[in-house]
């Protein structure tokens, strides 16, 4: 019997021709000004031409102070938005669908540089040592209001430009997931403590976006189903609350990920978060997307048979932009989860994956 992967599915008002989604992936093609390089236009065109159900863009920062790395693509300035429009036009011309992922890095701003625009590293809680070794400053009411307004402005612009939807990034240690995670959120006001309070600010952002773009425009959320340390036992229940609230506030789909995806990938663990996803499935009725450790049809079918509506993948599409077509042929991804594609292999060797050939002229001297 044919796999359900190759059947259409819906996310809000958006119809996808199949149930495979290219998950947001760090692309090495961002330029210092936050615009997209021509290589990114070509890459997304290739993925769209392969027939994948939809593409979620690389995470795009919503303001200059929200940026996490020097080569990250932004959606804050008119130049950045117009460069992303070139990617969108290429995807649409190839028959694809493009969903724009919006994010604020929070305490992960400028991981590779020990500086932050404005001199403050804004985060849910103050006095914490961030990955770039700076101490964080707790966001006050004005700071929270500005970030919410930046998310709304970006979502409205994405809709006006013709993106097929937006995704609010509440995962992978960025600002909104920092609010949800008790390891990062030590606030004692209405935005910290209980699961209800920790959800408050991400919920306010989602509500404001939904009100701004209307009921019919697809709005997705990406969220961690796990957190680190002893707090994860309680978080297993918190995530069910979070997901029910995302549904109540009008999210059209949830993409389920986790805090430790890098390590699990290196260990070659399959379907990282399927058990947590099953629990979420029992708690909500909106479409679910599962990412993490998906390489072959047996894994995909197990996810779909568990009632998860869509599967998404990141690194297999780095290894093979036409990953979907290989699945159609019954071929598994050769991706080994080494994560070198997320490092500097591109600048050192001119290739994105260890499975690719090194172009003539590399490595550079």
Segment 241-264 mean pLDDT = 90
pLDDT higher than threshold 70 for residue 346: yes
When pLDDT is cut at 50, 70 and 90, the band that residue 83 belongs to is very high
Segment 18-26 mean pLDDT = 94
Among 70-79, 99-108, 262-271, the minimum mean pLDDT is found in: 262-271
pLDDT higher than threshold 80 for residue 363: no
Distances (CA, A) of 216 to 253, 303, 336: 13, 27, 39
- 61 φψ region: left (φ > 0), alpha (ψ -120 to 50), beta (else): beta
Q: What does DSSP say about strands 136-138 and 121-123: parallel, antiparallel, or unpaired?
A: parallel
Mapping DSSP onto H, E and C, the string for 44-65 reads: HHHHHHCCCCEEECCCEECCHH
Residues 74, 60: Cα–Cα separation, whole Å: 5
What is the reported pLDDT for 342?
76
What is the reported pLDDT for 111?
60
Residues 49, 37: Cα–Cα separation, whole Å: 19
Here the tokens at position 274 are 């399927």
What is the reported pLDDT for 92?
98
Look up the pTM and report it: 0.95
SS3 percent helix, strand, coil of the chain, rounded to 5, is: 40, 15, 45
- Write b or e for each residue in 2-14: b if 16 or more Cβ atoms lie within 10 A of its Cβ, otherwise e: ebebeeebebbeb
When pLDDT is cut at 50, 70 and 90, the band that residue 262 belongs to is low
Among 71-75, 108-112, 333-337, 348-352, the minimum mean pLDDT is found in: 108-112
When pLDDT is cut at 50, 70 and 90, the band that residue 117 belongs to is low
Torsion angle of the four alpha carbons 343, 344, 346, 351, in this order, in degrees rounded to the nearest 10 = -60
pLDDT higher than threshold 80 for residue 27: no
What is the reported pLDDT for 3?
95
Among 7-16, 319-328, 341-350, the minimum mean pLDDT is found in: 341-350
Segment 88-93 mean pLDDT = 98
When pLDDT is cut at 50, 70 and 90, the band that residue 361 belongs to is confident
Comparing 110 with 93, the larger pLDDT belongs to 93
pLDDT higher than threshold 90 for residue 132: no
Other C-beta atoms closer than 10 Å to the C-beta of 289 total: 29
Residues 15, 210: Cα–Cα separation, whole Å: 19
Residues 281, 267: Cα–Cα separation, whole Å: 26
Among 23-37, 174-188, 243-257, 288-302, the minimum mean pLDDT is found in: 23-37
pLDDT higher than threshold 90 for residue 254: yes
Q: Which residues pair with 98 in a beta bridge?
A: 55
What is the reported pLDDT for 279?
98
The proportion of the chain whose per-residue pLDDT surpasses 70, expressed as a percent, equals: 94
Segment 309-325 mean pLDDT = 95
pLDDT higher than threshold 90 for residue 36: yes
- The per-residue pLDDT of the chain, averaged, comes to 92
When pLDDT is cut at 50, 70 and 90, the band that residue 110 belongs to is low
pLDDT higher than threshold 80 for residue 313: yes
pLDDT higher than threshold 90 for residue 158: yes
**Full DSSP string of 261-306:** HHHHHHTT-SSTTHHHHHHHHHH--S-EEEESS--SHHHHHHHHHT
**Cβ pair 65, 117 in contact under 8 A:** yes
Among 109-123, 146-160, 163-177, the minimum mean pLDDT is found in: 109-123
Segment 182-192 mean pLDDT = 97
**Full DSSP string of 70-108:** TT--BSSSHHHHHHHHHHHHHHHHTT--EEEEEE--GGG
pLDDT higher than threshold 80 for residue 192: yes
């Amino acid at each position: 019997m044919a796999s359900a992967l190759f059947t259409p599915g819906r996310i809000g008002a958006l119809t996808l021709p199949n149930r495979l989604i290219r998950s947001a992936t760090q692309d090495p093609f961002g330029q210092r000004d936050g615009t997209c390089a021509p290589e990114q236009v070509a890459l997304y065109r290739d993925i769209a031409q392969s027939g994948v159900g939809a593409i979620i863009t690389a995470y795009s920062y919503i303001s200059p102070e929200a940026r996490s790395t020097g080569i990250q693509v932004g959606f804050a300035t008119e130049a950045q938005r117009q460069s992303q429009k070139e990617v969108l036009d290429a995807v649409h011309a190839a028959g694809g669908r493009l969903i724009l992922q919006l994010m604020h890095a929070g305490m992960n701003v400028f991981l590779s540089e020990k500086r932050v625009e404005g001199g403050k590293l804004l985060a849910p809680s103050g006095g914490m040592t961030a990955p770039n070794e700076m101490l964080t400053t707790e966001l006050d009411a004005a700071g929270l209001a500005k970030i919410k307004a930046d998310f709304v402005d970006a979502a409205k612009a994405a809709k006006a430009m013709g993106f097929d939807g937006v995704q609010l990034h509440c995962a992978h240690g960025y600002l909104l997931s920092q609010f949800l995670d008790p390891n990062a959120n030590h606030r004692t006001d209405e935005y910290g403590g209980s699961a209800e309070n920790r959800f408050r600010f991400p919920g306010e952002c989602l509500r404001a976006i939904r009100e701004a773009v209307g009921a019919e425009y697809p709005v997705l959320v990406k969220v961690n189903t796990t957190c680190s340390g002893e707090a994860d036992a309680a978080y297993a229940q918190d995530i069910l609350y979070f997901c029910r609230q995302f549904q109540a506030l009008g999210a059209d789909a949830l993409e389920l990920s986790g805090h430790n995806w890098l390590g699990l990938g290196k260990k070659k663990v399959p379907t990282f978060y399927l058990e947590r996803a099953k629990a979420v499935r029992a708690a909500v009725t909106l479409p679910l997307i599962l990412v993490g450790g998906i390489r072959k049809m047996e894994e995909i079918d197990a996810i779909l048979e568990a009632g998860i509506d869509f599967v998404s993948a990141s690194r297999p599409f780095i290894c093979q932009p036409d990953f979907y077509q290989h699945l159609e042929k019954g071929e598994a991804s050769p991706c080994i989860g080494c994560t070198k594609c997320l490092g500097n292999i591109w600048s050192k060797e001119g290739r994105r994956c260890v499975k690719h050939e090194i172009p003539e002229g590399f490595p550079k001297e």
